[in-house]
Chains A and B, each alone.
Chain A
């Protein structure tokens, strides 16, 4: 059974960087893309970017292009999301989510979420 387990909550000062991990299990890690989606309190889901786990190719939402890095470590079945120069506007719950297909935007398995507080 496919499962994604994320790292724990983070509290950061403005201007710092935050790195969240997402460990996959129960499926072929390199078969699917992985997305990062965030949700500020009471707000909509906001897609941030994806990584093709097999190739390492990435694509980011333009607003994050300059300060978001998504990487993967195949030997550890883990994907990482690092956001630099955070501000209070980055306070949100961050989710990793597996793409049902190679890359189609259908997010069928989600991590439990990681709360990031910038204060």
Chain B
């Protein structure tokens, strides 16, 4: 299965900025937009960003994202304790004709 690669964990102190990377292949990130999801323990994922950099209504503007080639990144500025969660990237894969996901990155706010 074509899967996306993320770092297992990142950490930063409150108020600072953190970035989470996501790498894939030409058949997914290289061709299609990237989505980012947030998940708290015991809860369903929530869509944070879609089509590379679009924030759905209600999502904090402290979040931003970008895509270049077969990689993408999510940035969270002004870190708050409430940002501590797992973050997953996802993208449509043309080979599978379905979405693929990253392994998730656990964000710890120190």
Contact = CB atoms under 8 A, between A and B. Distances in A.
A and B: interacting chains: yes
Interface of A: 35, 37, 44-47, 49-50, 59, 61-63, 95, 97, 100, 104-108, 110-113
Interface string B48-66: 0011000010000000000
Contact of B45 (A47, A49, A110): A110
A59 B45 contact: no
Nearest to A45: B101
Given A105-B92, A108-B56, A44 B3 contact: yes
Interface residues of B, number: 27
B91 A105 contact: yes
A115 to B, nearest CB: 10
A37 B3 CA distance: 14
A-B pairs with the 8 shortest C-beta distances? A105-B99, A105-B92, A110-B44, A45-B101, A44-B103, A106-B50, A108-B47, A47-B98
B24 interface: no
B64 to A, nearest CB: 17
